[in-house]
């Protein structure tokens, strides 16, 4: 039994644009976000309140947040790694934060300069303070399958970190295949383990598509009762601290798959493709989504 509807969390403006080499004007980011909202996406991760030295591409987070298009039913979120990030998110009136850690120590250290335990200790206060102000919070666990530095990651580690995030107050845990290496068998193993401690309706899956297995993994997730998937328009993305990782699963490819499977997601494929075409022009290169390329060739 597959779910009849699915929630897509669009991470292109954050996970996608954080990884681009060239500077992207704030206005182009905002136009991209506006097109994504108009395509029916209801959850859009707009930016990150992280150290601008670490992620210069998102140094304009406050400017982006200040001009986000107001759309009924659309929730914008932003990454927040610490108290300073929360302070900036509050100032920017972002309603939803995302704290982020990982299931492997080396990646956590390289990405946020702390151990997993230190990150969880810090998030406890950050999430409590956010919730006290009426904000909501999601938590990411990176490297849930394979770590670019440590190799295979034990599902028990993923369960422990996901359960800790839930216990400290996030309402959803997004399990990341940061380097896009997982296959459906891995997804089954990890979900079965995590679901022993985290209700399935609070689990989201975040696949990068480095090895071309992301959609197969979505299918595995659906079969396991997962109803929330992260993706990025055009297949933008990657993490600067995960060498070799390519973009996220493309939103167009996910939407086509869900439509064809008879699963409702409320997102218009052609409008997403239009958002991607516009950002392709800004970037000066083609994005990898198969559906995007197909739609472009039929338009041509
Ligand atoms: P740090 O550099 O390790 O050390 O930062 P620090 O805490 O001493 O801070 C250094 C400087 O940053 C200081 O400024 C701080 O004030 C400033 P200076 O004194 O040098 O001028 N600073 C900040 N500035 C703005 N906003 C802040 C902030 N915090 C400190 N919030 C820190 C630690 C965690 C901040 C840093 O390591 C960092 O920003 N890391 C972010 C890395 C990142 O964004 N990675 C990509 C996102 S994760 C991802 O893509 C994976 C995901 O998609 C899931 C998946 O695919 O697996 C979510
Ligand atoms: Mg990611």
Is any ligand 1 atom within 6 A of the Cβ of residue 210? no
Residue 300, pLDDT > 80, answer no
Q: Using one digit for the tens of pLDDT, what is the confidence trace for 4-19?
A: 999 999 999 999 999 8
Number of compact structural domains in the chain: 1
CA of 176 to the centre of ligand 2 (A): 6
HSE (CB half, 13 Å, CA atoms) of 174?
27
Q: Domain of residue 223: give its range.
A: 7-299
Whether 241 is in the pocket of ligand 1, judged by its Cβ within 6 Å, is yes
- The residue nearest atom 24 of ligand 1, judged by CA position, is 51
**What's residue 120's pLDDT?**
98
Q: Is the pLDDT at 52 greater than 90, yes or no?
A: yes
Give a yes or no: residue 163 inside a domain.
Answer: yes
Q: pLDDT, tens digit, for every residue of 106-136? A: 999 999 999 999 999 999 999 999 999 999 9
CA distance 286 to 206: 22
Please report the atom of ligand 1 found closest to the CA of residue 82: 31
Instruction: Give the residue, by CA position, lying nearest to ligand 1 atom 43.
Output: 111
- Tell me, yes or no, whether 106 lies in a domain: yes
User: Would 174 be classed as within a structural domain?
Assistant: yes
Closest-CA residue, ligand 1 atom 29, reads: 51
Enter the tokens of residue 282: 């800004």
Q: Is the CB of 232 under 6 A from ligand 1?
A: no
Of the pLDDT bands very low, low, confident and very high (cuts 50, 70, 90), residue 246 is confident
pLDDT over 90 (residue 206): yes
Q: Domain containing 249 — which CATH number? A: 3.20.20.70
Residue 112 CB–ligand 1 contact under 6 Å:
yes
pLDDT digits (tens, 9 = 90+) for 173-199: 999 999 999 999 999 999 999 999 999
Q: In this structure, which ligand is nearest to the CA of 178?
A: 1
Q: Which amino acid residue places its CA nearest to atom 25 of ligand 1? A: 51
Q: Does residue 49 register a pLDDT over 90?
A: yes
Assess contact for 16 and 232: CB atoms under 8 A: yes
Q: Is the CB of 119 under 6 A from ligand 1?
A: no
Three-class secondary structure assignment of the chain: CCCCECEEEECHHHHHHHHCCCCCCHHHHHHHHHHHHHCCCCEEEEEECCCCCCCHHHCCHHHHHHCCCCCCCCEEEEECCCHHHHHHHHHCCCCEEEEEEECCHHHHHHHHCCCHHHHHHHHHHHHHHHHHCCCEEEEEEECCCEECCCEECCHHHHHHHHHHHHHCCCCEEEEEECCCCCCHHHHHHHHHHHCCCCCHHHEEEEEECCCCCHHHHHHHHHHCCCCEEEEEHHHCCCCCCCCCCCCECEHHHHHHHHHHCCCECCCCHHHHHHHHHHHHHHHCCCCCCHHHHHHHHHHC
pTM of the prediction?
0.97
Q: Is the pLDDT of residue 291 over 90?
A: yes
Per-residue pLDDT averaged across 14-41, rounded?
Answer: 96
Residue 2 inside a domain? The answer is no
Residues of the chain with pLDDT > 70, as a percent, come to: 100
Of the pLDDT bands very low, low, confident and very high (cuts 50, 70, 90), residue 237 is confident
Comparing CA positions, the residue from 219, 221, 226, 180 lying closest to residue 200 is 226
Query: Has residue 240 got a pLDDT over 90?
Result: no
User: Is 1 part of a structural domain of the chain?
Assistant: no
User: Which amino acids are annotated catalytic?
Assistant: 239
**CA of 140, nearest ligand number:** 1
Residue 71, both tokens: 């759309």
- For the chain, give the mean pLDDT: 97
Q: What six digits make up the tokens of 238?
A: 């990657």
């Amino acid at each position: 039994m597959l779910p009849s509807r699915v929630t897509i969390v669009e991470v292109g403006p954050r996970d996608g644009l954080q990884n681009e080499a060239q500077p992207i004007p704030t206005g182009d980011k905002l136009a991209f976000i506006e097109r994504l909202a108009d395509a029916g996406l209801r959850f859009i991760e707009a930016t990150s309140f992280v150290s601008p030295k670490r992620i210069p591409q998102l140094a304009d987070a406050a400017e982006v947040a200040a001009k986000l298009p107001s759309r009924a039913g659309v929730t914008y979120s932003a990454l927040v790694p610490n108290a300073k990030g929360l302070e900036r998110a509050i100032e920017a009136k972002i309603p939803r934060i995302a704290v982020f850690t990982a299931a492997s120590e080396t990646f956590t250290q390289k990405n946020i300069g702390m151990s997993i335990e230190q990150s969880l200790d810090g998030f406890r206060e950050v999430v409590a303070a956010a919730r006290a102000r009426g904000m909501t919070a999601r938590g990411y666990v990176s490297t849930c399958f394979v770590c670019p530095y440590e190799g295979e990651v034990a599902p028990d580690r993923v369960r422990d970190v996901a359960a800790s995030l839930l216990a400290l107050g996030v309402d959803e845990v997004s399990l990341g295949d940061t380097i896009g290496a997982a296959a459906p068998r891995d997804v089954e193993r990890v979900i079965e383990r995590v679901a022993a401690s985290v209700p399935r309706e609070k689990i989201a899956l975040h696949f990068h598509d480095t090895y071309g297995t992301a959609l197969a993994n979505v299918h595995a997730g659906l079969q396991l009762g997962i109803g929330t998937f992260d993706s990025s328009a055009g297949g933008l993305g990657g993490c600067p601290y995960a060498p070799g990782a390519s973009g996220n699963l493309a939103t167009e490819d996910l939407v086509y798959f869900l439509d064809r499977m008879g699963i409702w997601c409320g997102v218009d494929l052609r409008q997403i493709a239009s958002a991607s075409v516009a950002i392709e022009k800004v970037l000066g290169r083609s994005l990898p989504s198969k559906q995007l390329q197909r739609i472009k060739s039929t338009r041509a």
